[in-house]
Amino acid sequence: MSWFSWLPVNSIISFAQLCRAFVTCFQSIMKHKKMTVNLLSVKQKPDELIQAFVSHFNKESLDIKDPDEATAPTAMSNGLSDMDLKDLAQKLTKNMAELLERCNEFANTAEVLQAQKANEGKSERKRSTGDDCKEEKRSKTNHRT
């Protein structure tokens, strides 16, 4: 409104002229859509989980003007730092949806493996604690005799 009020009186004689003046004044603050090539700059951080990277990548891809279905999977696989997933992502995919499905399957498998390792660690601690108690009882018995 303030821009409009500062226009000189009778300086605009048509709607087309008003449009040009408006665009000229405010073009620099317009948010420009990114190109598919901009996705190549999206990289997985060293400590970033796969799900977080996929979410971050998807948010960035929403800003893309006319996304190219062929370039997006390549950009995503280039941004991955997890080598196992990077190998999976390099395999030919039909589209971005297929690559995202593959990433989700990989992430789920990684979570299952991590949970199994955590459970194995707990089991070993329980066993070693149990063995320590048995050993302590034996040593008390031996000490009495």
Nearest Cα neighbor of 80 from 117, 114, 107 is 107
Residues in the chain, pLDDT under 50? none
**pLDDT score recorded for residue 115:** 78
Q: Looking at the structure, do residues 9 and 75 belong to the same domain, yes or no?
A: no
Q: Which residue has the tokens 């070993």?
A: 124
Q: Which is nearest to 50 in space by CA: 118, 117, 121, 114? A: 114
Q: What is the pTM of this model?
A: 0.50
Largest CA distance in the chain: 115
Query: CB under 8 Å to 75, separation ≥6 — which residues?
Result: 36, 37, 39, 40, 42
Domain containing 132 equals: 31-144
Predicted pLDDT of residue 53 = 84
CA 30 from chain centre, in angstroms, equals 26
The pLDDT of residue 127: 58
| Residue 70 pLDDT | 73
Q: Is 52 in the same domain as 112?
A: yes
38 and 91 belong to one structural domain: yes
pLDDT of residue 14: 93
Q: State whether 48 and 35 are in the same domain.
A: yes
Residue 86 has a pLDDT of 60
pLDDT of residue 37: 74
- Note whether 44 and 86 are within 8 A (CB): no
- What confidence score (pLDDT) does residue 16 get? 93
State whether 72 and 132 are in the same domain. yes
